[in-house]
Amino acid sequence: MNANIEDDGLEVYFMDVGQADSILLINSNKAMLIDAGDTDAEDIIIPYIKSLGIEKLDVVIFTHPHKDHIGSGSKVIESFYIGKIYMSSKTTTTKTFEKLLDSIELKGVDLIIPNAGDKIEFGNCDVTVLGPVKEYNEINDNSIVVKVDYNDTKFLFTGDMEENSEKDIIDTFVNLDVDVLKVAHHGSETSSSYVFLREVSPKYAVISCGIDNDYKHPQEKILSRLNDVGAEIFRTDKMGTIVAKSNGKEITFNQAGIKSSNNSDNDKDTNQMLDITYIGNLNSKKLHLDICKSLPSEKNKVYFNSREKAIKDGYEPCSQCNP
């Protein structure tokens, strides 16, 4: 599989479906869909995939049965020829989930519940299921996590898995280093623990989230952690649909990402957002630079990447570090 590259490369489309996930992968005339957005995403996902000339989804993975991952699933299943469908063991009793199961049954496609370590056949890619390592009570932790290797390039898709699942994956697998990380749970701080991010050490991090979403995803803490591990950040809320292409050696994107300050270049505008981290004290409402000597204790820290925003939220600049 790794010996030669005879296809046109691997294309990964992180479709802009708002506060939700839907990712399409294409390699050697095969297509794989990971999640199908929320209920309002069918008019985005279906025409988009069709515009790429795709009539069959060879592999469909529903990472977990939350609405923002299966919302348009039934419509998607009805609109394409379907190969195999993978789902996690955890089910729900929501209408959306029932509808999805009905569409799958109508289509006559078998449902596969994969185990960690299983392989999924997809073009010339080597696809390994990393999670869930075991069954969790928490639906998000039960997300199907897949690593897609295409020659020398590696992608990791995480659904909404949280810290428990991250920890078990680190304990179970070796060589977790990847090039592109689909940041778990839309950039929520319940996921993307430091240990996990250090282990996967992504060059590029893609966050799928909605503009001004109610959850405040991605959270400042996560942006700051991604910055610390040197990842270039791509966000669907700021950039729309993000397309990554791998030729087996290198990955290129359809647009520039937000570079971290660790491997910064002269692109000041895109850097500005992540260059300086401001830390507020929840108790005293003082605002500090992250280099200040009198930073609040961990539990009282609140992170900002804009001074303006902090002042607006009622924080007062510290007289020592003078942010």
Task: Report the residue number, 140 or 192, with the smaller CB distance to Zn ion.
Answer: 140
Q: How many CB atoms lie within 10 A of CB 146?
A: 29
- CA 103 from chain centre, in angstroms, equals 26
Q: How far is the CB of 38 from Zn ion (least distance, A)?
A: 9
Helix (H, G, I), strand (E, B) or coil at 99: helix
Q: How far is the CB of 299 from Zn ion (least distance, A)?
A: 26
Query: Exposed, middle or buried: residue 243 (CB in 10 Å: 0-12, 13-18, 19+)?
Result: middle
Task: Report the residue number, 140 or 246, with the smaller CB distance to Zn ion.
Answer: 140
Q: How far is the CB of 314 from Zn ion (least distance, A)?
A: 31
Q: How far is the CB of 231 from Zn ion (least distance, A)?
A: 20
| 192: alpha, beta or left? (left if phi > 0; alpha if psi -120 to 50) | left
Q: How far is the CB of 157 from Zn ion (least distance, A)?
A: 13
Helical (H) or strand (E) element with 166: helix 163-172
DSSP output for 253-316 = ESS--B--GGG--S-HHHHHHHH--EEEETTT-EEEETT-TTPPPGGGEEEES-HHHHHHTT-E
Task: Report the residue number, 37 or 280, with the smaller CB distance to Zn ion.
Answer: 37
Task: Report the residue number, 153 or 192, with the smaller CB distance to Zn ion.
Answer: 192
Task: Report the residue number, 191 or 277, with the smaller CB distance to Zn ion.
Answer: 191
**CA separation for the pair 27, 203 (Å, rounded):** 21
Helix (H, G, I), strand (E, B) or coil at 221: helix
Positions that interact with Zn ion (CB under 5 A): 66, 68, 140, 160
Task: Report the residue number, 62 or 315, with the smaller CB distance to Zn ion.
Answer: 62
Task: Report the residue number, 22 or 260, with the smaller CB distance to Zn ion.
Answer: 22
**CA separation for the pair 190, 170 (Å, rounded):** 16
Its sign, for the CA torsion 114, 125, 151, 160, is: negative
Q: How far is the CB of 217 from Zn ion (least distance, A)?
A: 9
Q: How far is the CB of 88 from Zn ion (least distance, A)?
A: 11
**CA separation for the pair 231, 259 (Å, rounded):** 7
